[in-house]
Amino acid sequence: MQEETEIGILDILTKINDNTWEVPKSYKPFMRVPGRIFVSETLLHDLDKGTLDQVANVASLPGIQKYSMAMPDAHLGYGFPIGGVAAFDKEEGVISPGGVGFDINCGVRLIRTNLHKEDVRSHMKELVDELFRAIPSGVGSKSRIRASDSELDDIFLHGSKWAVENGYGEKTDLDHCEGRGCIEGADPSKVSEKARSRGKPQIGTLGSGNHFLEVQYVDKIYDQEAADAFGLEEGQVVFMIHCGSRGAGHQICTDYIKTISRASKKYGIQLPDKQLACAPAQSPEAQDYFKAMACAANYAWANRQVITHWTRAVFERFFGRDMDDLGMDLVYDVAHNVAKLEEHIIDGMKKEVYVHRKGATRAFPPGHHDLPDVYKAVGQPVLIPGSMGTPSYVLHGTEAGMGVAFGSACHGAGRVMSRAHAKHEFFGETVKENLEARGITVKATHPSVIAEEAPDAYKSSSEVVDVVHNLEIAKKVVRVLPMGVAKG
DNA sequence: ATGTGC
């Protein structure tokens, strides 16, 4: 059966180069552009036919530019594949909630320290316990902060800046966030009361699933100049925060899937899959979704900023040193699930497009105006978390990536097994013991969370990263390895 | 991913 699936895929795809496979326009009559799937021959064996079909389905949407794309970590998602990238013309194109996903601005940030791995290794269990205590995690977890109505409006409007101005972090943190931790054009009046009430008690909470807070160390340098610019060196302790917009973003997506589904019919858009519901980019429906999505994205940036502050506080207490002494600067913060209005050069012309990245990382090149001065020479830090217990990577964006993939790269390891299947296949306690035998401390709300996130339920983050590196969509800077993980 | 399942 497995064999048949593989043959099916190879019958459809045309090999462009070692890491690029095309879904020809002729594959389905509704395709407006070809699909492009960025995978190595090895990873092609993990590619599901359903994911390929989703790439083709996205290619049917009005105003799509160049290609419907999938990154090497792509797998089946709601309508659009996770690992999907698609850009739509600002005027003639569409905006689709399925192209962003339920966890709006699920993303990652990396914070450096002046600590060496040997300073923390023997204290890891206690440190993870402290982090677990300080940062609420798990489904439905509630924060020590409860946002008032006016605070929630500010969070929706200003993202990370709200957090910094309210004492959760440093002004310089903002320079080291994609878009300074904010999407412009957010409008809290477009967010339902239900989404608001879910959001109020959750600012500064980690969530569940693949979301985590990880203490890591830099284990390998690939690009010394870029590592220097990012403030990273071998043996150094760093920590990574991976989380999103929690219940608020989920509710906003749910609300607008209904609105946009009606709009698809109203505007007569033919859809090969209902889950691709979308509306003309400039329609009031699409613009309302965009304004609400921006609120969720900003909420997620504020959320990661508050968690950063509390994590810094844990380190300060734990090591009895202040954060300047500990050198806990934010390296960068990137979104993995978001739609943005960006300028790209298409067929030699500058053009504004709505780039949908769903399980994909923005990867802007050296010199781009959105980058802080310190990163202008090397390009944007691209943060790629591994699955639990496996390496994570920092890469930098490139000019080639702008041309090939609208300045985008992969976002992680990518599932090969559903959550349900993983829970059936693995025992959380055994997975935890295996990780501990390798010197990795894991603490979660429940063993089943560990089973769901077992490393074997995912592709290899290294193989995934090598594809974007070899294509030069983004280039490797450092590899980091986990020492301690706190998860929902 | 998600106050986890019509």
A268 CA – B2 C1', rounded, Å: 31
Looking at the predicted structure, is the pLDDT value of residue A66 above 90?
Answer: yes
Query: Can you give the pLDDT at residue A488?
Result: 84
Helices and strands (H, E) in chain A, number of each type: 18, 19
Confidence of residue A469 (pLDDT cuts 50, 70, 90): very high
Q: Is A250 one of the annotated binding-site residues?
A: no
What whole-number distance in Å separates Cα of residue A278 and Cα of residue A58? 11
**Which A residues between 37 and 76 have a beta carbon under 7 A from any strand B atom?**
none
What's the rounded mean pLDDT across residues A17-39? Answer: 98
- In window 124-153 of A, residues with CB < 7 A from nucleic chain B are 139-140
Please give residues of chain A from 195 to 224 whose alpha-adjacent beta carbon (CB) lies under 7 Å from any atom of strand B: 198, 202, 207-211
Q: Is A284 exposed, middle or buried (0-12, 13-18, 19+ CB in 10 A)?
A: exposed
Nearest 5°: the CA angle A398, A403, A408 is 60
d(CA A468, CA A325): 36
3-state secondary structure of A17: strand
Q: Tokens 């300028």 belong to which residue? A: A343
Alpha-carbon distance of A390 to A480, in angstroms, equals: 9
A487 known member of a binding site: yes
Asked whether the beta carbons of A319 and A276 are under 8 A apart, the reply is no
Predicted confidence at residue A304, as pLDDT, reads 98
Collapsed DSSP state (helix, strand, coil) of residue A440: coil
Question: In the complex, which nucleotide's C1' lies nearest to the CA atom of residue A243?
Answer: B1
Mark whether A250 is an active-site residue.
no
Distance A30 CA to B6 C1' (A): 32
Mean pLDDT over A399-424 rounds to 93
* Across all strands, nucleotide nearest A212 (CA–C1'): B1
Mean pLDDT of A94-113: 98
CA atoms within 13 A on the CB side of A412: 27
Whether the CB-CB separation of A409 and A395 falls below 8 Å is answered with yes
Report the amino acid identity of residue A140: G
Q: How far is the CA of A46 from the C1' of B5 (A)?
A: 28
A123 is known to lie in a ligand binding site: no
The pair of structure tokens assigned to A437 is 């035998």
The CA distance from A468 to A333, in Å, is 19
Burial bucket for residue A209 (CB in 10 Å: 0-12, 13-18, 19+):
middle
Range in A174-178, A325-329, A361-365, A426-430 the model is least confident about: A426-430
The answer to whether some atom of strand B lies closer than 7 Å to the beta carbon of A251 is yes
| Phi, psi dihedral angles at A36 (to 5 degrees) | -130, 125
Question: Over chain A, what is the mean pLDDT?
Answer: 96
Task: Mention every residue, 6+ apart, whose C-beta is less than 8 A from residue A388.
Answer: A210, A212, A435, A442, A450, A453, A454, A455, A482, A485, A487
Q: Which nucleotides of B are covered by protein (CB under 7 A)?
A: 1-4
pTM, rounded to two decimals: 0.97
A385 is in an annotated binding site: yes
Single-letter amino acid code for the residue at A48: D
Nearest C-alpha neighbor of A336 from the set A71, A65, A133, A117: A71
Percent of chain A with pLDDT over 90: 93
Q: Report yes or no: A336 and A272 within 8 Å, Cβ to Cβ.
A: no
Quote the CA–CA distance of A359 and A413 in Å, as a whole number: 10
Is A412 assigned a ligand-binding role in the annotation? yes
CA of A12, C1' of B4: distance in angstroms:
36
Per-residue pLDDT reduced to its tens digit, A215-241: 999 999 999 999 999 999 999 999 999
The answer to whether strand B lies under 7 Å from the CB of residue A194 is yes
How large is the average pLDDT for residues A150-156?
98
Q: What radius of gyration do chain A's Cα atoms show? A: 21
The answer on pLDDT for A2 being more than 80 is no
**Protein CA A99 to sugar C1' B6 (Å):** 25
The DSSP H or E segment spanning A399 is helix A399-405
Band the pLDDT of A418: cuts 50, 70, 90.
Answer: confident
Is A69 marked as binding a ligand?
A: no
Distance CA(A449)–CA(A113), nearest Å, equals 28
For A38-81, strand residue ranges (E) read 68-75
Direct distance between the N- and C-terminal alpha carbons of chain A, in angstroms, rounded to an integer: 36
Instruction: Please state, as a whole number, how many other Cβ atoms lie within 10 Å of the Cβ of residue A271.
Output: 19
CA of A325 to C1' of B1 (A): 36
- The DSSP H or E segment spanning A125 is helix A124-134
> How high is the pLDDT of residue A416?
87
- Residue A234: what pLDDT? 98
What length is written for chain A?
488
For residue A1, is pLDDT > 70?
Answer: no
Q: Which residues pair with A70 in a beta bridge?
A: A37, A84
Distances (CA, A) of A133 to A29, A110, A136, A247: 54, 20, 7, 21
- Contact (Cβ atoms closer than 8 angstroms) between residue A385 and residue A392: yes
Instruction: Measure CA to C1' and name the residue nearest B4.
Output: A139
Q: What is the per-residue DSSP string for A458-474? A: B--HHHHHHHHHHHTSE
Single-letter amino acid code for the residue at A6: E
pLDDT class for A7, splitting at 50, 70, 90?
low
A404 burial (CB, 10 Å; 0-12 / 13-18 / 19+) is buried
Say what the pLDDT of residue A8 is. 86
Structure tokens that stand for A290 in this block: 């965009």
Q: What pLDDT was estimated at residue A415?
A: 87
pLDDT of residue A414: 83
Q: Is the CB of A447 under 7 A from strand B?
A: no
pLDDT tens digits for range A176-199: 999 999 999 999 999 999 999 999
Tens digit of each residue's pLDDT (9 = 90 or more) over A435-452: 999 999 999 988 999 999
Q: What is the pLDDT of residues A248-302, one digit of tens each?
A: 999 999 999 999 999 999 999 999 999 999 999 999 999 999 999 999 999 999 9
Q: What gap in Å lies between CA A85 and CA A355, rounded to an integer?
A: 7
Region A54-58 average pLDDT: 98
Residue A88 forms beta bridges with which residues? Answer: A64, A354
pLDDT digits (tens, 9 = 90+) for A321-346: 999 999 999 999 999 999 999 999 99
- pLDDT (0 to 100) of residue A46: 87
Burial of A333 (0-12, 13-18, 19+ CB in 10 A): buried
